[in-house]
Amino acid sequence: MESKFSRTLEEWKNLASKELKGKNSDSLIWTTPEGIDIQPLYTENDLKGLDHLNSLPGFSPFLRGPKATMYAGRPWTIRQYAGFSTAKESNEFYKKNLAAGQMGLSVAFDLATHRGYDSDHPRVSGDVGMSGVAIDSVEDMKLLFDEIPLDKMSVSMTMNGAVLPVLANYIVAAEEQGVKAKQLKGTIQNDILKEFMVRNTYIYPPKESMKIVSDIIEYTAKHMPSFNSISISGYHMQEAGANQVQELAFTIADGIEYVRAAINKGLQVDDFAPRLSFFFAIGMNFFMEIAKLRAARWLWANLMKKHFKPNNIKSMMLRTHCQTSGVSLTEQDPYNNVVRTTIEAMAAVMGGTQSLHTNAFDEAVALPTDFSARIARNTQLILNEETGITKTVDPLAGSYYVEALTGRLISSAEKLIDEIEKLGGMTKAVEKGIPKSMIEESAARRQAGIDSGDITVVGVNKYKANEDSKFDVLKVDNNEVRELQIKSLIKLKNNRDDQKVTESLNKLTEGAKKQSSNLLELSVEAARNRATVGEISSALEKVFSRHEASYSGVTGVYGNELNKNDNYIFVKKTIDDFVNKNNRKPRILIVKLGQDGHDRGAHVVASAYEDLGFDVKVGPLFQTPEESAQMVKLYMPDVVGASSLAGGHLTLIPEMIQYIKNILNKNILIIAGGVIPQEDYEKLEEAGVDAIFGPGTNITDAARRIIGLIEQRPDKSDIK
């Protein structure tokens, strides 16, 4: 029976047109970065032909959630990601947070550890303890979890490159706490494919790295039945600029590749697939993120069934951790970040995440303080305890908009996954650099949208605050932490049996030559003997080598998006005038100092500057200050742009400047960019930095200032 309130879609369009003063309602259609047209109104008609409707939570394909009762039965786990400085300080921070309502631990390691270097290695002088906790040995790991019972606590560890020594140290630390491996609960990220795409904290080449992944899956399946052997991560893809279709498709495709690698190792799919987990970013497109998590569960269940035919229903069940977006956080007007994180947390929960990390408002510039971490944690507690969100399973199910959007994401991701399959799978695609190139193009397009004002970021390019917000920033004394770690290493090496260490490391090196060996098993033995993270990594490096990536930039995207922007046109003309006057382009060398592999910002800047008319050279990742100075000598740029994202700027950039001064007697301009707190600006300027561009800087504005600095330079005669 037709309702007395029934109206036709045509009647609505006519009414809408009147409200729009004659414009068609189609003028309200918005096209997302994923290429999906978002309509102003959705109706029952938009659900026709969708395959995913009418499912129930707890049943395959799990679109509405992996558990029947979801949060009505048990809320998501509050799992805040943290780690800084020393193991002792991180331990104190963890215990404080657990007492305040946090339910699980998620460990952030410093970059030296990620890259398989001990704290005394000369390449990591500016990285020790700066963006996570420094772990050199079992002794550090024991301190990290002191008075935290590992048989009861679920522990997630974000580790990929040095995954073998870190996981081995964790297993041995638990042993010496009296906890057996089979009792351990938690997750190791162990997702190396995305490292080659976006995050770059790899050590070994892709093929060798995939052996490590499969060995860990094999070992945990046998000895750690309650532990998740891998967290297949889309988070870092979105942080690097991927749109949600790319994040969804590449993450699921990575998962399929890992399953194949484990099966090729000789495992049965049901032996390990139930312990696979996922990790997604949650950004500011609220409904898109909700639909993405629902689509991910549908895709995983159907692709697992199609390719591997598991008997255990849990092998098809996608379980995920989520983290609110880091790239959406802004240095400008930073208290807005509290609101952003809340909105993103709501999207994660509405989408059905199993655990969640909420970023602190100050993480645009530094590690969180106790104050900001409490607000971030309490955001989840309030959502859980005060809103009623947990009372109903998948509360947005049946929404015309959400269901239609879920369907579009499924079909769009399927097309991209099919393209990857035709290439021979994700490893082949990664080796060819295809996902990385697609993500960098997406990042450049988004940055152009922000710089042009087409994409609004409140407080950055619209509704700007009249004055800067002041807040305390957590400071880590890099030199002090490094000295403490070096003392611990000396003590460790003085008190161990060197013969046993050497024997276990030799076994590891030999094991790396054999496909049949299990490298985690051999790493556990080495860790018991007190071999360090750096020593275990080096033992494998003798066979595997250390991977070096090459840069191939994306050009034309930024310029095409901004070619009608007045500011862009003005800056491009200014640079053209420089070219005409000097018979050459202005030259900029962009260097990445230290062991931070996040290259999104550097590559977006590089591609934008190329479009503006600069001659751009991008140095390799993981450079020391001296290596960067040698590149300056080789290329003789007008300006050096040093990228810093991991807190090492006060050590590494001044060192680079001093090396440049020692090598050259030239007037080279130095700029710094990235995550740099404003209170550090003065020290950097005193060290010789000519300009600093923090997060959220408009690239065209920065280029305008740089070309001005080049023109104003007192002595330009030495640059040919």
Q: Using CB atoms within 10 Å of the CB of residue 310, give its burial: 0 to 12 exposed, 13 to 18 middle, 19+ buried.
A: middle
DSSP 339-367: HHHHHHHHHHHHHT-SEEE---TTTTTSS
Query: CA-CA-CA-CA torsion for 651, 630, 594, 669, nearest 10 degrees?
Result: 60
Establish whether 52 is a catalytic residue. Answer: no
Measured N-to-C along each axis, helices 478-494 and 649-663 cross at an angle, to the nearest 10 degrees, of 90
Whole-angstrom distance, CA of residue 64 vs CA of residue 351: 8
Do the Cβ atoms of 549 and 597 come closer than 8 Å?
Answer: no
Paired residues of 633 in beta bridges: none
370-409: burial string, b at 16+ Cβ within 10 Å, e else = eebbbbbbebbbebbeeeeebeebbbbbebebbbbbbbbb
Q: Looking at residue 199, what DSSP letter applies?
A: I
Helix (H, G, I), strand (E, B) or coil at 21: coil
Establish whether 681 is a catalytic residue. Answer: no
Distance of CA 137 to the CA centre of its chain: 25
Do the Cβ atoms of 213 and 188 come closer than 8 Å?
Answer: no
Spot the catalytic one: 136, 362, 596, 638. 596
Spot the catalytic one: 114, 292, 592, 603. 592
Establish whether 4 is a catalytic residue. Answer: no
Q: Using CB atoms within 10 Å of the CB of residue 422, give its burial: 0 to 12 exposed, 13 to 18 middle, 19+ buried.
A: exposed
Spot the catalytic one: 204, 235, 558, 659. 235
Spot the catalytic one: 321, 598, 603, 649. 598
Helix (H, G, I), strand (E, B) or coil at 4: coil
Sign of the dihedral defined by the CA atoms of residues 108, 114, 118, 122, in that order: negative
Establish whether 114 is a catalytic residue. Answer: no
Cβ–Cβ contacts within 10 Å for residue 314, how many? Answer: 15
Helix (H, G, I), strand (E, B) or coil at 82: strand
Phi/psi of residue 2, nearest 5 degrees: -75, 130
Establish whether 236 is a catalytic residue. Answer: yes
Spot the catalytic one: 52, 142, 194, 236. 236
Written as six digits, the tokens of 664 are: 């050259």
Do the Cβ atoms of 644 and 591 come closer than 8 Å?
Answer: no
Establish whether 394 is a catalytic residue. Answer: no
Do the Cβ atoms of 624 and 123 come closer than 8 Å?
Answer: yes
Do the Cβ atoms of 321 and 353 come closer than 8 Å?
Answer: yes
Which residues carry out catalysis?
81, 235-236, 592, 596, 598
